[in-house]
Every structure is written in C-alpha cells, then in structure tokens.
C-alpha cells in the first residue's frame, strides 16, 4: 500500500509552470508587505515632523520668542513699590525708603579695573570682589550692590561707566522700629514677605515688576540708535490692620515693665475687640527692631520673630475655668440635672480623688475658708476641686461638645501663618483623672489666641468669630479692593449664660483673686491663672506661667485682654503678677480714649 493510500490523501506534483506562478505570487505578497511597512514608516515620520512643527510653532512659540528677545535685549528692572501697612487709624507701620540697586553687564564693560575702582569707592565695596564680578562673563547681568542710597548712586551716575546701570529698589522701613514686630513681620533680601503680615498678604503687597528693554548685540553691547521699550511696574496694594498702634504701644510699654520687674523669661499680651474678634494689639517680648533685623543669627531671629500668641501652646491653668463655668451654666439653663445651679453648694472637702490621683485646692480651708462654696465663690477663690466636680458631673461627651464649640483642638482661623491647634486628648482615650484636670485647665494645651477668643465668646453672648488682623486692602488712590469682614464661626452659649457668667467674673475682680485688676468706677471682670510648667514630662520646680484674662465693661464687654508672664521670678501668682498688668493696660486705654466711668460706678 502506497503512502498516499495510507494517509487517505492523494497528492499531485506541481508542474514547472504552476511552481513558477506560486513563486511570483509569494514575491508579490512580500513586496506588498514591504511597501506597506515603508509607507507606514514614512507616514509615522511625517506625523512626527508635523507634531514637532506644531509644537514649535504653536506650543513653544512664546518661549522661543522670549529667548530670541532675551538674546538681543537687556532689561533694566523697574521694581514695583511695595504696598504700605497701616494701623486701623491710618498710622503708617510699614513703608518704603528710597534706595537703589546697581547692576553690571560684564560683556559691555570696557575697562573693568577702572570701573571697579570707581564702584568700590562710591559704594564702599571690596575692589577685588567688584573686579571679579565685572569680569564674570558667564552671566548676562550681575548685581553689584543692593539697596544703596541716592547719594551713592549720584557718585557713579556721572562717571559714565560702560555696562553699569542702576534701578530703583526701595528698602522696607518701619517707622516704629520694634512695635508689633512679630505681627508685621519682615521681608527677605529680594523684597518678598518672609514672616507675619508681610508674608501672609504678600500677594497683595508685592505688586508686579516692570522693566526697561534695550536692544543689544549678541555679547550684550548696546546698539547705537536703539530705542528703549518701557514696561511700567504695578505698585503693590496697601493693607490696613485692625491693630490700633496706640493700644499696641501701650501694651508693649506695660509688658516691657513686667518683663524686667519680674525678671521673666518672656511676656505676651493680646487685646481683642469682644464684639467681632478684631485684634487690637499683640505683644511678644523680648522683641527686635524691624529696621535692624539680626539676619546673621538665624536661631536668635527665629526666636524673636515668632508670634507665640498664635504659634505656641501652654497649659492655661485657672483662666480656663471661664470655659468650664460657661458650659456648666448653659447646661443648667437647658435643664441638665447634672449641672450645678449658681446657688448650689460644692463639697467643702479640700481634695478630690479620681483614679487614685488626688487633686487639691491651693487653700488649706483653715477656719472654714472656702467651705460650702457656690459657683461664683469657686471662681472667686479659684478652687480646683469645684471644677473637677463640674467636669465629672457634665460628663466627657457633653463637656467635649462645648470644647469643640469653643474651637479647642482646632485653628481659630486668624489670617496669619503658622497657627497651632493646641493639644486636646481624644475623648475615646481620655482617663477620668485626665478629664477631671481639664476642668481646671490642666491636661489641655492651648494657644493664647485660642484662650482669648474662647473667653470672648463666653461673655459676648456666645458668638465666636474668626479673629482677624486685617480690616481692608486698598490702592494708593483710596479705592478699597477687599474688605475683611467679621465672620461668625460658631455659637457657644446663650445670651443669658454670658450675662450670668460675666456677673460672676466681675465679682472675681471686685472681691476675689483678681482684685489687683479692679479700677474704681469701671466694671472690670476677669479670671486669674497660675500654671505649673512641665519639662520632659515632669513638673519643672519653680517654673510657672502667670496669667490673667480680663475685659470691660462687664455688663457690655468691649475690650478683652489676655496677659501672660512666663517664668516670673519671686512672686508667681497670676493675681499678683499678671492682673496688675491688665489694670495698667485698661487704665491706659480709658485715658487714651476718654472712656467714661460706668453709670453708678462699679
């Protein structure tokens, strides 16, 4: 049996003609494939060149035009005038002093040695360093000196130095030197805002730089008969603060005295408008002169320029009892049976023990002193165990709801960079002993600004506004570009709660621990605080933060001040260290603004 029969297939051998036809068909198929591949390759390359052409002509055209312009022109910068900063009354706090910067184009300098001598002598520069700059042809332009005086520029303008030119480059000037230095902030060498209001509102203050364009050859030499093109600069906008320089100056004088009198590590003070939380003054001492910034000592500069009122946190101590009392009164008015009524008597025991931790009153309760206190008396005497009772009675959830309403553990929203949010332990992880301490201002850390705002919101009817440093932004012709209006953030307590609480806090100043803030004829209210400091998780012996938060008039709060003295030596109670500072500050404001005594006296 044959192979074909075994496979069931009958195979026929192709004739020579058929084989030839097959070969031609195969060759044509290969040719068509090669032609297709070549066509696709050509099409791809064409599309690639077309895309590149499109990119150069459409997408890249502006940059190429700029490069071409840059090759054949040289620009003398025309710096924009930086906007001024004023206080709320229009008093200039940050402005500009005329100054100039001197530049050179090495390729256009004809006699480097001679010109270096003239520049070095006129601008009080090193001859060798100036000569090196004039000989540096790797850069089209180089700065010889920044912010030199008009007199210095006059010395070189008549020398007709080739390749040397100058441009207006004003120097930032602060008429009051160190006044509100941490609030205003300062600018960098290039004139942009580095800290404070100068930084936060830099987009408005900076303006837009212009220039004068000159046609040159490829090596940077001016073309004879070329016409200059002038692009005008757009000056920056002006900023009007809510800060009143009279209050700021007064507060700095008072706190400077406290700093030296108590040999303190640092002192701070903030004054708020209770009605809308506009900041009237912010004081951080020690300070520095904004016209003589210690740029060569960065550690010192960072320490002195830091606005601790916004950026640093501390345990507030007894001043925090304002918040605890407000929460308790509000809950009592809402019918919460756990809240203490204003006339309810606290236990006369001097201590409370929670989770094995004993919390003591500062007084020994001898001879029945502080026994059977009401809420008003507990505030007067600043007795810690009473506020432990309040916190535990209200419970974690209720009390934490109030802490959230008073914005603890979150930013206040002030228009200033670097605001801290404080430290508030999560409710879910809070031990009872820690929670008990929050009631009198321990185991919680706040910024001074947070405490001032929360206190204001507790006594102004319960309205919490975002604090603000800027009132408006306007142009040189007086047109207002932007108004920063008060922004209501939250409601904290009701009007009746504020009225009751304010009456109690007025009693603290009249009869209690805040007596040294009392002003005859004026209804001053407030609360003292004395907090121990911690280092490495332990109480630091002999180190305290003395504070007082007060306001007036008590029946219609207008001005609130928080005073902090950090690590006073000798006396350290807030009642003896901080409260007198607030009294001096309020008396100064009363005199400066001609505020009349309260009707019927205090």
Question: How far apart are the C-alpha atoms of 542 and 403, rounded to whole Å?
Answer: 30
Q: Describe the crossing of helices 384-394 and 321-333 by its angle, rounded to 10 degrees.
A: 40
Q: CB neighbours of 428 closer than 8 A, spacing ≥ 6?
A: none
Please give the DSSP secondary-structure letter assigned to residue 428.
G
Ranges of H-type helices in 262-307: 298-305
Please give the DSSP secondary-structure letter assigned to residue 89.
T
Quick one: which of 548, 541, 567, 531 has its CA closest to 315? 531
205: tokens are 């203050």
Catalytic residue among 278, 287, 305, 318: 318
Half-sphere exposure in the Cβ direction for 8 (13 Å, CA):
0
419: tokens are 């605001």
Question: How far apart are the C-alpha atoms of 153 and 148, rounded to whole Å?
Answer: 7
Quick one: which of 109, 137, 108, 142 has its CA closest to 125? 142
494: tokens are 């009701």
550: tokens are 């007060």
Pairing of strands 85-86, 238-241: parallel
Please give the DSSP secondary-structure letter assigned to residue 445.
B
Burial class (CB in 10 A: 0-12, 13-18, 19+), 145: buried
Angle 86-90-96 from CA coordinates, rounded to 5°: 45
Confirm whether 318 is a catalytic residue: yes
Ranges of H-type helices in 280-431: 298-305, 308-311, 321-333, 375-381, 384-394, 396-405
Q: CB neighbours of 43 closer than 8 A, spacing ≥ 6?
A: none
At 42, which helix (H) or strand (E)?
helix 16-54
Question: How far apart are the C-alpha atoms of 70 and 60, rounded to whole Å?
Answer: 15
Question: How far apart are the C-alpha atoms of 418 and 402, rounded to whole Å?
Answer: 25
The residue assigned the tokens 């002030």 is 414
Cis peptide upstream of residue 286 (ω within 30 degrees of 0):
yes
CB of 539 within 8 A of CB of 532?
yes
Q: Which residues pair with 272 in a beta bridge?
A: 279, 560
CB of 63 within 8 A of CB of 114?
no
Catalytic residue numbers read: 318
């Amino acid at each position: 049996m044959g192979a074909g029969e075994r496979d069931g297939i009958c195979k026929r051998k192709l004739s020579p003609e058929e084989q030839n036809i097959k070969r031609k068909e195969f060759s044509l198929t290969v040719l068509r494939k090669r032609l297709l591949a070549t066509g696709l390759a050509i099409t791809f390359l064409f599309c690639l060149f077309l895309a590149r052409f499109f990119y150069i002509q459409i997408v890249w055209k502006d940059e190429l035009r700029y490069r071409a312009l840059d090759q054949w022109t040289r620009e003398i910068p025309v710096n924009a005038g930086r906007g001024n900063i004023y206080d709320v009354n229009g008093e200039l706090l940050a402005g500009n002093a005329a100054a100039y910067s001197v530049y050179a184009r090495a390729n256009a300098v004809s006699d480097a040695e001679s010109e270096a001598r003239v520049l070095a002598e006129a601008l009080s520069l090193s001859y060798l360093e100036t000569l090196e700059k004039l000989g540096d042809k790797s850069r089209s332009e180089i700065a010889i000196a920044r912010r030199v005086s008009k007199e210095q520029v006059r010395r070189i303008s008549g020398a007709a130095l080739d390749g040397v030119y100058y441009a207006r480059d004003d120097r930032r000037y602060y008429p009051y030197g160190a006044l509100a230095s941490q609030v205003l902030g300062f600018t960098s060498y290039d004139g942009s805002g580095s800290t404070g209001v100068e930084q936060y509102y830099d987009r408005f203050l900076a303006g837009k730089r212009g220039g004068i364009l000159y046609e040159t050859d490829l090596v940077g030499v001016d073309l004879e008969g070329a016409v200059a093109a002038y692009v005008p600069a757009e000056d920056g906008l002006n900023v009007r603060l809510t800060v009143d320089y009279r209050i700021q100056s007064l507060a700095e004088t008072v706190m400077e005295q406290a700093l030296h009198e108590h040999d303190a590590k640092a002192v701070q003070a903030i004054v708020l408008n209770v009605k809308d939380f506009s900041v009237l003054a912010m004081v951080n001492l020690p300070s520095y002169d904004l016209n003589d910034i210690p740029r060569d000592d960065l550690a010192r500069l960072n320490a002195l320029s830091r606005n601790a009122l916004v950026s640093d946190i501390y345990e507030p101590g007894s001043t925090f009892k304002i918040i605890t009392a407000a929460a308790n009164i509000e809950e009592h008015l809402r019918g919460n049976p756990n809240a203490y009524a204003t006339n309810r008597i606290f236990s006369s025991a001097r201590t409370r023990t929670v989770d094995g931790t004993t919390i003591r009153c500062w007084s020994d309760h001898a001879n029945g002193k502080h026994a059977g206190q009401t809420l008003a008396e507990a505030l007067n005497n600043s007795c810690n165990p009473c506020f432990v009772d309040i916190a535990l009675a209200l419970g974690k959830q209720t009390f934490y709801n109030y802490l959230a309403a008073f914005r603890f553990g979150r930013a206040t929203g002030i228009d200033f960079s670097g605001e801290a949010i404080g430290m508030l332990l999560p409710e879910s992880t809070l031990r009872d002993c820690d929670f008990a301490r929050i009631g009198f201002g321990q185991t919680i850390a706040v910024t001074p600004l947070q405490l001032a705002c929360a206190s204001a919101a507790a006594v102004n009817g319960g309205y919490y506004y975002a604090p603000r440093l800027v009132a408006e932004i306007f142009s040189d012709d007086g047109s207002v570009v932007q108004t920063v209006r008060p922004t209501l953030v939250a409601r904290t307590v009701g009007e009746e709660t504020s009225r009751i609480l304010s009456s109690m806090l007025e009693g603290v100043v009249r009869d209690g621990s805040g007596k040294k803030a009392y002003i005859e004829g004026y209804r001053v209210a407030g609360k003292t605080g004395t907090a121990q400091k911690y280092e490495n998780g332990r109480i630091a012996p002999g180190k305290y933060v003395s504070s007082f938060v007060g306001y007036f008039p008590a029946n219609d709060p207008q001005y609130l001040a928080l005073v902090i003295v950090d690590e006073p030596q000798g006396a350290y109670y807030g009642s003896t260290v901080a409260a007198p500072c607030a009294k001096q500050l309020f008396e100064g404001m009363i005199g400066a603004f001609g505020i009349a005594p309260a009707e019927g006296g205090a």
